[in-house]
Amino acid sequence: MVPTKTAMDIGSRARHFDKIQSIIEEYGATESALIPILQKVQAEYRYLPEEILTFVATALQLPPATVYGVATFYAQFSLEPKGKYVVRVCDGTACHVRKNAALIAALKKRLGLADGETTTEDMRFTLEIVSCIGACALAPAIVIDGKVHGQMTAEKAIKALDELEAAEKEEK
Amino acid sequence: MGYITIDGVKTPINDKKNLLEVIRESGVDLPTFCYNSELSVYGACRMCIVEIEGRGLQAACSTPPEDGMVVKINTPATMRIRRMALELLLSNHHGNCQTCDKNMHCRLQELADRLGVKTVRFEESRELLPVETTNQSIVRDPNKCILCGDCVRMCKEIQGIGVLDFAGRGSNVQVTPAFGKELKEVECVFCGQCASVCPTGALTIKNKVDEVWKAIHNPDKMVVVQIAPAVRAAIALEYGITDGEHAMSKTVTALRRIGFDKVYDTSFTADLCTVEEATEFLGRVAEGKRLPHFTSCCPAWVKLCEQLYPNYLNNLSTCKSPQQMFGSLVKKLLSERHNIDRKNIYLVSVMPCTAKKFEAERPEFSVDGNPDVDAVLSSQELIRMIDQSGVKLTELPLDSLDLPFGFKTGAGIIFGASGGVAEAVLRLAAAKDETDNQIIEFKEVRGLEGVKEASVNLDGTTIKLAVISGLANVQRVMDKLQKGEVYYDIIEVMACRGGCIGGGGQPLPNDMAAREIRKDVLYNCDAMQPLHNAANNPYVKEAYATLLQKPNSAVAHKLLHTSYHSRRRITGEQVQLSRTESKKKLCVAVCVGTNCYLKGSYDTLQKLSALAQEAGLADRLDFKATFCFERCKKSPNVKVGETIHGEVTPDTAETFFRETVIPALEGRETVATEA
Ligand code: SF4
Ligand code: SF4
Ligand code: FES
Ligand code: FES
């Protein structure tokens, strides 16, 4: 089950639940508004929790299976909770032959992820292994928080994560 | 009127809605998976591909016919594409055919054979997914799904529910209930119509044949069977026997040879049900209460009503369905008459229906844990069981049903067709006296049409009635009824189009053409009976004389009536609204399930939380949004601590907060300090 901690760092849930209703009101409770509504919800929670999808289905008077179908069809939607920062390691052929395996192992170690785990305890990082991101010239490549980093080594990747965390602390 | 040239043959279009239909009309069985003439066109399987002059390759199912079209069916390209599409399907299909429930009835098998596919050049690529066997009615094996979407469209378009849909993308596409849940966790009513249109073994009927054999082989058990009205029509059609009486007689012989001790007819309790329900209905009319009266013989409709229309649960007839009346009455009478423990009576029912399997396992239909009906076999399973026994039904001599529970009037038989229950009740109400035994035909309520209406004059009172079949039709009428756009005194509802003759347990094909024939079989059976008014069934009278006293008496209520409760549509978690959960806080859970939501529960929730802020109590209350407490009749519902409070509308929220929430909070703290 989805842990309750997921939304903790993004503030009180009451407010977020409130937002769902206002999102629905903003786009209108009609079938054609489903995708924009889900996009907004995804932006809000960084994933689409099952209960929220059921709520959206209720409000739009659609079968939950239809909403689930749409939510699983588009790659932009995720039904699993994701960390604040998403780290994507490319596993396309070019990156694979450039030994990205060591890179993945180092990242997992840095983030303290056990086998099968993708998101850190504190919901800050999610590690994803993806197929070719079209940056083969830069192989091995990773994407951190939407930015492509090429010719990665384990050291460079860890440094990038450290910098990200440092910047975050400064903001606070 | 136009013509199309198909393989050089000029063929009239004749108002056909697509090219595929024109081709089929011309005598060519163009193969299809995803086309079903009773549903919308999907156009995904590519089996119906043809070459049209000037347009190239086209899917015939999604091409409107045009005058002058020149079409070729079997060209090198179309044949290659068809085979390739089939090979791809086969490579993704877990083909353990010999042990599959659909063996010899599978469209994939049939077409692979017809198109001469001998090798599959692609490797099986999918990982095996778990087979769902956890509900009483339907088995779902996603590994056999070919993604034709027939079940999706059946459930959405004809039943108006939409339990199944496509999910995922690319090679991971699946047809599944929401969130990958099981059918019993979602709003499925187990009508089985999806399984009726599934071309492969992906959706099949849960099979109980082995369990029934086991009971037959157990020397301690008296094994008794009741056969539903619509089953005789299925047997007649399946074995090419022209009339239902004959089909039934041969079935009796077959079941005796298989080893059943007694063979009875559910039409007997259909008669009993008519007497009980007519009395109940006329009583409601006299009092002007609980109208419109809804019939309750269809368990799929009952479940839908429990999920969607809690406000009408009081209007459902309290009569058990004929299957359950039979179980409750006959198990009791047989155990008394033969002096055996009811646990040693094994009652099988043969039904046209998959929802009856669900109904039989509703906890209210049992006595001390012993179910009134032990096993429900669908018509399909009955045919299987006969096949397994090796008995050749068509060659068997005739035999008659056992008395007394094998005796029925024609009114009991027509229960199997849409309009039958209404007509049976009307016949009884309209009959002048006991000796009046003409067939009073109510033709307006007969036939396969989804919504039928009629007005009948009963002793000066005009009764408005509606007869509905197909759950999408039901929902359309319910919408109008709730808006006050229509009114009826009595509404007969059957989940399956045409009524139980088209039930999800009936043999395949179970299309409208088959239903039309089965319907005629039942009305012919009615015509052949000596009696047509349920009240004249001598054994029904005997049951009242010896046990039930009179219709709707206290004993009748105990044995033959039941009650209903609201039901949630989907399982799920609560949505936690405040930051942390704390034992010290008082939990206020507002239902945002469909029924409560529609009654404004969301505004109630907003109001309550605003009130909590204002009162400075926000940090002592733990707000939650939940899905359905199964008390929808009283929606909107709010649970404070452990108690559920009904009818907390946005307007009453303030009073509720003052009079219920605050005292609960104080009460809790007093207890806490004392402890
Ligand atoms: S059994 Fe009926 S309600 Fe359930 S999925 Fe199939 S068609 Fe829909
Ligand atoms: S209409 Fe008849 S066959 Fe269909 S679900 Fe209802 S009781 Fe079963
Ligand atoms: S039947 Fe035409 S594409 Fe499937
Ligand atoms: S929707 Fe069922 S109790 Fe609220």
pTM of the model as a whole: 0.88
CB contact under 8 A, A65 and B578: no
- Of the partner residues B187, B572, B576, the one whose CB lies closest to the CB of residue A4: B576
Q: Which fold has domain B209-560?
A: Rossmann fold (3.40.50)
A85-171 belongs to CATH 4.10.220.20: no
Q: Are strands B49-52 and B70-72 parallel, antiparallel or unpaired?
A: antiparallel
- Ligand 3 near B596 CB (within 6 A): no
Residues A54-76: pLDDT tens digits? 999 999 999 999 999 999 999 88
A8: nearest CA partner in chain B? B579
Position A28 pLDDT exceeds 60: yes
CA B36/CA B155 separation, integer angstroms: 13
Residue B356 is among the residues annotated as catalytic for this protein = yes
Contact in structure between B323 and B347 (CB atoms under 8 Å): no
- Of the partner residues B165, B570, B602, the one whose CB lies closest to the CB of residue A69: B165
Given the structure tokens 């759950």, which residue do they identify?
Answer: B471
CB contact under 8 A, A68 and B165: yes
Higher per-residue confidence, A33 vs B606: A33
- Of the partner residues A12, A51, A75, the one whose CB lies closest to the CB of residue B575: A51
User: Model confidence at B272, in pLDDT bands (50, 70, 90)?
Assistant: very high
Give the bridge partners for B262, in sequence order.
B224
At residue B579, the pLDDT reads 47
User: Model confidence at A12, in pLDDT bands (50, 70, 90)?
Assistant: very low
At residue B368, the pLDDT reads 94
Q: What is the DSSP letter of B501?
A: G
Higher per-residue confidence, B507 vs B461: B507
At residue A2, the pLDDT reads 37
Beta strands (DSSP E) in B89-202 are 138-140, 164-167, 174-177
Question: Fold match between B89-205 and B575-674?
Answer: no
The ipTM of this complex is: 0.88
- Residue B593 CA: which ligand 4 atom is closest? 1
Residues B250-260: pLDDT tens digits? 999 999 999 99
- HSE toward the beta carbon, residue B247, CA cutoff 13 A: 26
- What phi and psi values does residue B164 have, to the nearest 5 degrees? -105, 145
Contact in structure between A140 and A98 (CB atoms under 8 Å): yes
CB contact under 8 A, A62 and B602: no
Query: Cα B176 from chain centroid?
Result: 18
Determine which one of B155, B297, B587, B596 is catalytic. Answer: B297
- Ligand 4 near B627 CB (within 6 A): no
List chain A domain ranges. Answer: 10-73, 85-171
HEC string of B93-156? CCCCHHHCCCCCCCHHHHHHHHCCCCCCCCCCCCCCCCCECCCCCEEECHHHCCCCCHHHHHHH
Mean pLDDT, residues B590-612: 89
List chain B domain ranges. Answer: 3-74, 89-205, 209-560, 575-674
CA B515/CA B506 separation, integer angstroms: 10
Position B674 pLDDT exceeds 50: no
Residues B26-59: pLDDT tens digits? 999 999 999 999 999 999 999 999 999 999 999 9
Shortest Cα distance from B396 to chain A (angstroms)?
48
Q: Which residues of B touch A65 (CB under 8 A)?
A: 162-165, 167, 176-178, 186
CATH architecture of A10-73: Orthogonal Bundle (1.10)
At residue A75, the pLDDT reads 84
CB contact under 8 A, A14 and B578: yes
At residue B304, the pLDDT reads 98
Question: For chain A, first and last CA: distance in Å?
Answer: 31
At residue B214, the pLDDT reads 98
Tokens of A24: 């629905």
Maximal CA-CA distance, chain A = 51
Position B232 pLDDT exceeds 50: yes
Q: Which CATH class is domain B575-674?
A: alpha beta
> How many angstroms separate the alpha carbon of residue B416 from the centre of ligand 2?
9
Mean pLDDT, residues B616-620: 84
Say yes or no: A13 contacts chain B, CB-CB below 8 A: yes
Residue B630 is among the residues annotated as catalytic for this protein = no
Residue B591 is among the residues annotated as catalytic for this protein = no
Identify residue B411 by its one-letter amino acid code: A
Shortest Cα distance from A1 to chain B (angstroms)?
9
Share of chain B above pLDDT 90, in %: 82
Q: What are the b/e assignments for B616-643, b being 16+ CB within 10 Å? A: ebbeebbbbbbbbbbbbbbbbbbbbeee
B3-74 belongs to CATH 3.10.20.740: yes
| Multiple choice CATH, B89-205, 3.30.70.20, 3.40.640.10, 3.40.50.10490, 3.40.50.10800 | 3.30.70.20
Say yes or no: B167 contacts chain A, CB-CB below 8 A: yes
Residues B132-165: pLDDT tens digits? 999 999 999 999 999 999 999 999 999 999 999 9
CA B556/CA B318 separation, integer angstroms: 11
Maximal CA-CA distance, chain B = 95
At residue B452, the pLDDT reads 97
Shortest Cα distance from B590 to chain A (angstroms)?
13
